[in-house]
Homo-oligomer: A and B are copies of this chain.
Protein backbone atom coordinates (compact mmCIF):
# COMPACT_ATOMS: atom_id res chain seq x y z
CA UNK A 1 0.00 0.00 0.00
CA UNK A 2 1.40 3.37 -1.00
CA UNK A 3 0.05 4.96 2.17
CA UNK A 4 1.83 2.49 4.44
CA UNK A 5 5.17 2.57 6.22
CA UNK A 6 8.65 1.64 5.12
CA UNK A 7 9.60 -1.02 7.62
CA UNK A 8 12.99 -2.52 8.40
CA UNK A 9 13.54 -5.71 10.36
CA UNK A 10 16.96 -6.55 11.71
CA UNK A 11 17.19 -10.24 12.59
CA UNK A 12 14.26 -11.65 10.57
CA UNK A 13 15.59 -15.23 10.51
CA UNK A 14 15.53 -15.90 14.26
CA UNK A 15 12.63 -17.16 16.38
CA UNK A 16 11.46 -13.64 17.27
CA UNK A 17 12.04 -12.35 13.72
CA UNK A 18 9.88 -15.16 12.36
CA UNK A 19 7.11 -14.33 14.84
CA UNK A 20 7.40 -10.64 13.95
CA UNK A 21 6.73 -11.30 10.25
CA UNK A 22 3.80 -13.54 11.15
CA UNK A 23 2.27 -11.05 13.60
CA UNK A 24 2.65 -8.13 11.14
CA UNK A 25 0.86 -10.15 8.46
CA UNK A 26 -1.94 -11.27 10.81
CA UNK A 27 -2.54 -7.77 12.14
CA UNK A 28 -2.30 -6.24 8.64
CA UNK A 29 0.39 -3.85 9.78
CA UNK A 30 0.50 -1.24 6.98
CA UNK A 31 3.77 -2.11 5.22
CA UNK A 32 4.59 -0.10 2.10
CA UNK A 33 8.08 -1.53 1.79
CA UNK A 34 9.91 -4.13 3.81
CA UNK A 35 13.71 -4.18 4.21
CA UNK A 36 15.20 -7.24 5.86
CA UNK A 37 18.71 -7.16 7.28
CA UNK A 38 21.03 -9.29 9.33
CA UNK A 39 24.66 -9.83 10.18
CA UNK A 40 26.85 -11.25 7.42
CA UNK A 41 26.29 -14.90 8.36
CA UNK A 42 22.49 -14.69 7.81
CA UNK A 43 22.68 -12.30 4.83
CA UNK A 44 21.63 -13.89 1.54
CA UNK A 45 19.00 -16.16 3.07
CA UNK A 46 15.34 -15.62 2.23
CA UNK A 47 12.22 -15.38 4.36
CA UNK A 48 8.57 -15.34 3.41
CA UNK A 49 6.21 -12.44 4.12
CA UNK A 50 2.60 -12.61 2.98
CA UNK A 51 3.46 -15.30 0.46
CA UNK A 52 6.38 -13.38 -1.01
CA UNK A 53 9.98 -14.55 -0.73
CA UNK A 54 12.28 -11.74 0.41
CA UNK A 55 16.06 -11.63 0.54
CA UNK A 56 17.89 -10.75 3.74
CA UNK A 57 20.63 -8.15 3.21
CA UNK A 58 23.72 -7.57 5.23
CA UNK A 59 23.02 -4.56 7.42
CA UNK A 60 24.41 -1.23 6.16
CA UNK A 61 23.66 2.42 6.93
CA UNK A 62 22.20 2.93 3.43
CA UNK A 63 19.47 0.36 4.03
CA UNK A 64 17.92 2.59 6.73
CA UNK A 65 17.35 5.51 4.31
CA UNK A 66 13.66 6.45 4.30
CA UNK A 67 12.73 3.80 6.86
CA UNK A 68 9.85 4.84 9.12
CA UNK A 69 10.17 2.08 11.70
CA UNK A 70 12.98 -0.39 12.28
CA UNK A 71 12.33 -3.47 14.42
CA UNK A 72 15.46 -4.93 16.01
CA UNK A 73 14.88 -8.63 16.74
CA UNK A 74 18.56 -8.88 17.58
CA UNK A 75 20.92 -9.21 20.51
CA UNK A 76 22.48 -6.29 22.38
CA UNK A 77 25.59 -6.33 20.16
CA UNK A 78 23.74 -5.67 16.87
CA UNK A 79 21.19 -3.35 18.47
CA UNK A 80 23.79 -1.15 20.14
CA UNK A 81 25.79 -0.84 16.94
CA UNK A 82 23.00 -0.23 14.42
CA UNK A 83 20.17 1.49 16.28
CA UNK A 84 22.04 4.83 16.42
CA UNK A 85 22.53 4.50 12.66
CA UNK A 86 18.84 3.81 12.09
CA UNK A 87 17.80 6.74 14.26
CA UNK A 88 20.29 9.06 12.54
CA UNK A 89 18.66 8.08 9.25
CA UNK A 90 15.28 9.21 10.62
CA UNK A 91 13.77 5.87 11.59
CA UNK A 92 12.09 5.07 14.88
CA UNK A 93 13.80 1.97 16.33
CA UNK A 94 11.87 -0.59 18.37
CA UNK A 95 14.40 -2.77 20.13
CA UNK A 96 13.83 -6.25 21.54
CA UNK A 97 17.34 -6.50 22.96
CA UNK A 98 18.20 -5.62 26.55
CA UNK A 99 20.65 -2.89 25.54
CA UNK A 100 18.53 0.27 25.94
CA UNK A 101 15.90 -0.97 28.38
CA UNK A 102 17.23 0.68 31.53
CA UNK A 103 18.39 3.86 29.76
CA UNK A 104 16.43 6.69 31.45
CA UNK A 105 16.13 8.44 28.06
CA UNK A 106 14.48 5.41 26.44
CA UNK A 107 10.84 4.46 27.11
CA UNK A 108 10.37 0.78 28.02
CA UNK A 109 6.85 0.05 26.87
CA UNK A 110 4.06 -2.48 27.15
CA UNK A 111 1.21 -0.64 25.43
CA UNK A 112 -1.54 -2.01 27.72
CA UNK A 113 0.37 -0.68 30.72
CA UNK A 114 2.37 2.45 29.89
CA UNK A 115 1.61 3.57 26.31
CA UNK A 116 1.80 7.11 27.65
CA UNK A 117 5.59 6.75 28.05
CA UNK A 118 5.84 6.66 24.22
CA UNK A 119 5.30 10.42 24.19
CA UNK A 120 8.78 10.89 25.62
CA UNK A 121 10.75 8.98 23.00
CA UNK A 122 13.79 10.25 21.13
CA UNK A 123 13.81 7.72 18.32
CA UNK A 124 14.32 4.57 20.37
CA UNK A 125 11.71 2.51 22.19
CA UNK A 126 12.71 -0.60 24.09
CA UNK A 127 10.46 -3.64 24.36
CA UNK A 128 10.87 -5.47 27.69
CA UNK A 129 12.07 -8.98 28.37
CA UNK A 130 9.47 -11.71 27.72
CA UNK A 131 9.09 -12.72 31.37
CA UNK A 132 8.55 -9.08 32.37
CA UNK A 133 5.92 -8.35 29.71
CA UNK A 134 3.48 -11.05 30.77
CA UNK A 135 4.00 -10.21 34.44
CA UNK A 136 3.15 -6.52 34.06
CA UNK A 137 0.16 -7.11 31.76
CA UNK A 138 -1.29 -9.36 34.50
CA UNK A 139 -0.50 -7.32 37.62
CA UNK A 140 -0.76 -3.71 36.37
CA UNK A 141 -4.59 -3.64 36.36
CA UNK A 142 -4.64 -4.97 39.93
CA UNK A 143 -1.96 -2.54 41.10
CA UNK A 144 -3.78 0.37 39.46
CA UNK A 145 -6.78 -0.46 41.63
CA UNK A 146 -5.10 -1.46 44.92
CA UNK A 147 -1.44 -0.41 44.88
CA UNK A 148 1.53 -2.74 45.36
CA UNK A 149 3.70 -3.69 48.31
CA UNK A 150 5.68 -6.67 47.00
CA UNK A 151 5.93 -9.19 44.17
CA UNK A 152 7.33 -12.74 44.35
CA UNK A 153 7.74 -14.57 41.03
CA UNK A 154 8.78 -18.12 40.15
CA UNK A 155 9.07 -18.67 36.41
CA UNK A 156 8.78 -21.71 34.13
CA UNK A 157 10.42 -20.53 30.90
CA UNK A 158 10.46 -22.28 27.56
CA UNK A 159 13.56 -22.85 25.44
CA UNK A 160 12.36 -20.63 22.59
CA UNK A 161 13.32 -17.71 24.84
CA UNK A 162 16.91 -18.68 24.00
CA UNK A 163 16.18 -19.00 20.27
CA UNK A 164 15.78 -21.57 17.54
CA UNK A 165 19.03 -23.39 18.34
CA UNK A 166 17.77 -24.08 21.85
CA UNK A 167 14.54 -25.49 20.44
CA UNK A 168 16.66 -27.86 18.34
CA UNK A 169 18.74 -28.75 21.40
CA UNK A 170 15.61 -29.71 23.37
CA UNK A 171 14.37 -31.82 20.46
CA UNK A 172 17.71 -33.54 19.86
CA UNK A 173 18.31 -34.27 23.54
CA UNK A 174 14.77 -35.58 23.94
CA UNK A 175 15.21 -37.99 21.01
CA UNK A 176 18.52 -39.11 22.52
CA UNK A 177 17.01 -39.81 25.95
CA UNK A 178 14.12 -41.75 24.39
CA UNK A 179 16.69 -43.77 22.41
CA UNK A 180 18.54 -44.59 25.62
CA UNK A 181 21.45 -42.25 24.92
CA UNK A 182 22.96 -39.69 27.28
CA UNK A 183 21.86 -36.18 26.27
CA UNK A 184 24.66 -33.74 25.44
CA UNK A 185 24.30 -30.10 26.53
CA UNK A 186 25.76 -27.69 23.97
CA UNK A 187 23.99 -24.34 24.22
CA UNK A 188 22.77 -24.77 27.79
CA UNK A 189 24.87 -25.37 30.92
CA UNK A 190 22.96 -28.61 31.66
CA UNK A 191 20.79 -31.07 29.78
CA UNK A 192 17.29 -29.64 29.27
CA UNK A 193 15.48 -32.79 28.06
CA UNK A 194 13.29 -34.08 30.92
CA UNK A 195 15.24 -31.69 33.17
CA UNK A 196 15.20 -28.04 34.31
CA UNK A 197 17.55 -25.50 35.89
CA UNK A 198 17.37 -22.12 37.66
CA UNK A 199 19.96 -20.49 35.45
CA UNK A 200 18.95 -17.98 32.77
CA UNK A 201 21.64 -15.42 31.91
CA UNK A 202 24.69 -14.77 34.10
CA UNK A 203 24.91 -14.54 37.88
CA UNK A 204 25.56 -11.21 39.62
CA UNK A 205 27.52 -10.74 42.86
CA UNK A 206 24.42 -11.35 45.00
CA UNK A 207 23.70 -14.67 43.26
CA UNK A 208 20.78 -13.45 41.14
CA UNK A 209 20.67 -14.26 37.44
CA UNK A 210 20.36 -11.64 34.71
CA UNK A 211 16.82 -12.85 33.99
CA UNK A 212 15.81 -12.32 37.63
CA UNK A 213 17.38 -8.85 37.68
CA UNK A 214 15.53 -7.96 34.46
CA UNK A 215 12.19 -8.86 36.04
CA UNK A 216 12.98 -6.65 39.05
CA UNK A 217 14.31 -3.60 37.21
CA UNK A 218 12.11 -3.64 34.10
CA UNK A 219 8.91 -4.22 36.07
CA UNK A 220 9.70 -1.27 38.34
CA UNK A 221 10.40 1.00 35.34
CA UNK A 222 7.26 0.01 33.41
CA UNK A 223 4.99 0.33 36.44
CA UNK A 224 6.63 3.63 37.45
CA UNK A 225 7.32 2.16 40.91
CA UNK A 226 11.11 2.51 41.19
CA UNK A 227 11.38 1.00 44.67
CA UNK A 228 8.76 -1.77 44.49
CA UNK A 229 10.17 -4.86 46.29
CA UNK A 230 10.34 -7.72 43.76
CA UNK A 231 12.09 -11.07 44.11
CA UNK A 232 12.25 -13.74 41.41
CA UNK A 233 13.60 -17.22 40.70
CA UNK A 234 13.74 -17.92 36.96
CA UNK A 235 13.84 -21.49 35.72
CA UNK A 236 14.33 -22.97 32.25
CA UNK A 237 11.95 -25.89 31.61
CA UNK A 238 11.67 -28.48 28.79
CA UNK A 239 8.85 -26.70 26.97
CA UNK A 240 9.18 -25.32 23.43
CA UNK A 241 6.97 -22.22 23.54
CA UNK A 242 5.35 -20.03 26.24
CA UNK A 243 6.53 -18.97 29.67
CA UNK A 244 4.52 -19.56 32.85
CA UNK A 245 4.82 -17.68 36.14
CA UNK A 246 3.59 -18.35 39.67
CA UNK A 247 3.06 -14.87 41.09
CA UNK A 248 2.45 -13.68 44.66
CA UNK A 249 1.21 -10.07 44.72
CA UNK A 250 0.79 -8.08 47.93
CA UNK A 251 -1.36 -5.01 47.36
CA UNK A 252 -1.58 -1.86 49.50
CA UNK A 253 -5.32 -2.06 49.82
CA UNK A 254 -7.58 -5.08 50.26
CA UNK A 255 -8.36 -6.80 46.96
CA UNK A 256 -10.07 -10.19 47.13
CA UNK A 257 -9.88 -12.88 44.45
CA UNK A 258 -13.42 -12.14 43.23
CA UNK A 259 -12.70 -8.46 42.64
CA UNK A 260 -9.29 -9.28 41.14
CA UNK A 261 -10.99 -11.65 38.68
CA UNK A 262 -13.56 -9.00 37.81
CA UNK A 263 -10.77 -6.53 37.07
CA UNK A 264 -8.78 -9.04 35.02
CA UNK A 265 -11.86 -10.15 33.06
CA UNK A 266 -12.02 -6.70 31.47
CA UNK A 267 -8.30 -5.87 31.45
CA UNK A 268 -6.72 -5.08 28.08
CA UNK A 269 -4.55 -7.87 26.73
CA UNK A 270 -5.61 -10.36 29.44
CA UNK A 271 -7.56 -13.56 28.97
CA UNK A 272 -8.92 -14.66 32.36
CA UNK A 273 -9.40 -18.36 33.15
CA UNK A 274 -12.10 -18.19 35.81
CA UNK A 275 -12.18 -19.97 39.16
CA UNK A 276 -9.81 -22.93 39.29
CA UNK A 277 -9.23 -22.78 35.54
CA UNK A 278 -5.65 -22.43 34.39
CA UNK A 279 -3.83 -21.95 31.08
CA UNK A 280 -0.86 -24.13 30.13
CA UNK A 281 2.03 -23.27 27.80
CA UNK A 282 0.32 -25.27 25.03
CA UNK A 283 -2.86 -23.17 25.46
CA UNK A 284 -0.94 -19.92 25.06
CA UNK A 285 1.41 -20.91 22.22
CA UNK A 286 0.55 -19.08 19.00
CA UNK A 287 -1.85 -16.69 20.79
CA UNK A 288 -1.51 -13.07 21.85
CA UNK A 289 -3.36 -12.66 25.18
CA UNK A 290 -1.60 -12.96 28.50
CA UNK A 291 -3.57 -15.77 30.12
CA UNK A 292 -4.24 -15.60 33.86
CA UNK A 293 -5.78 -18.36 35.96
CA UNK A 294 -6.03 -19.75 39.50
CA UNK A 295 -6.53 -16.30 41.03
CA UNK A 296 -6.72 -17.04 44.76
CA UNK A 297 -6.06 -15.49 48.12
CA UNK A 298 -2.67 -15.75 49.81
CA UNK A 299 -3.76 -15.86 53.46
CA UNK A 300 -0.19 -15.59 54.80
CA UNK A 301 0.06 -11.80 54.34
CA UNK A 302 -2.37 -8.87 54.42
CA UNK A 303 -3.89 -8.31 50.96
CA UNK A 304 -2.15 -11.28 49.35
CA UNK A 305 -3.08 -12.74 45.97
CA UNK A 306 -1.66 -15.69 44.05
CA UNK A 307 -1.86 -15.80 40.23
CA UNK A 308 -0.82 -18.18 37.46
CA UNK A 309 0.27 -16.27 34.33
CA UNK A 310 1.10 -17.78 30.92
CA UNK A 311 1.93 -16.17 27.57
CA UNK A 312 3.62 -16.97 24.28
CA UNK A 313 7.11 -15.55 24.82
CA UNK A 314 7.73 -15.12 21.07
CA UNK A 315 4.45 -13.28 20.48
CA UNK A 316 3.24 -11.07 23.37
CA UNK A 317 6.62 -11.61 25.02
CA UNK A 318 8.41 -10.22 21.96
CA UNK A 319 6.95 -9.78 18.46
CA UNK A 320 3.37 -8.79 19.26
CA UNK A 321 4.49 -6.27 21.87
CA UNK A 322 6.89 -4.68 19.38
CA UNK A 323 4.20 -4.44 16.68
CA UNK A 324 1.72 -2.99 19.22
CA UNK A 325 4.30 -0.32 20.10
CA UNK A 326 4.58 0.60 16.41
CA UNK A 327 0.79 0.60 15.97
CA UNK A 328 0.40 2.94 18.94
CA UNK A 329 3.19 5.25 17.75
CA UNK A 330 1.89 5.55 14.20
CA UNK A 331 -1.80 5.40 15.08
CA UNK A 332 -2.41 2.40 12.84
CA UNK A 333 -3.62 -1.16 13.15
CA UNK A 334 -6.15 -2.90 15.33
Which residue in chain B gives the minimum CB-CB distance to A278?
B198
Known: A174-B174, A178-B174. A244 touches B196 (CB 8 A): yes
A280 with B197: CB separation less than 8 A: yes
A296 with B208: CB separation less than 8 A: yes
Interface residues of A in 169-184 (CB under 8 A from B): 170-171, 174-175, 178
A196 with B237: CB separation less than 8 A: yes
A246–B174 Cα distance when bound, in Å, is: 25
Which residue in chain B gives the minimum CB-CB distance to A307?
B233
Which residue in chain B gives the minimum CB-CB distance to A300?
B229
Known: A190-B280, A280-B196. A233 touches B301 (CB 8 A): no
The number of times this chain is found in the oligomer is 2
Known: A195-B282, A196-B237, A207-B257. A299 touches B231 (CB 8 A): yes
Instruction: Answer whether residue A239 sits at the interface, using C-beta atoms and an 8 A cutoff.
Output: yes
Which residue in chain B gives the minimum CB-CB distance to A216?
B300
* Residue-wise interface mask of A (211-237) relative to B, using a CB-CB cutoff of 8 A (1 in contact, 0 not): 000000000000000000111010101
A156 with B306: CB separation less than 8 A: no
Query: Interface centre among A178, A194, A206, A280, by most B CB within 10 Å?
Result: A194
Known: A231-B306, A308-B233. A294 touches B154 (CB 8 A): no
A41 CB to closest chain B CB, in angstroms?
A: 29
Which residue in chain B gives the minimum CB-CB distance to A257?
B207
A301 with B198: CB separation less than 8 A: no
B174 with A237: CB separation less than 8 A: no
A147–B152 Cα distance when bound, in Å, is: 21
Q: 20 pairs across A/B with beta carbons < 8 Å?
A: A150-B301, A154-B154, A154-B233, A156-B156, A156-B235, A175-B178, A191-B280, A195-B280, A198-B293, A206-B299, A207-B257, A207-B275, A207-B276, A229-B299, A231-B248, A231-B300, A231-B304, A233-B294, A233-B306, A235-B246
10 more A-B contacts (CB under 8 A) besides A152-B152, A206-B297?
A152-B248, A152-B300, A156-B196, A191-B282, A195-B281, A207-B257, A207-B275, A208-B296, A229-B300, A231-B304
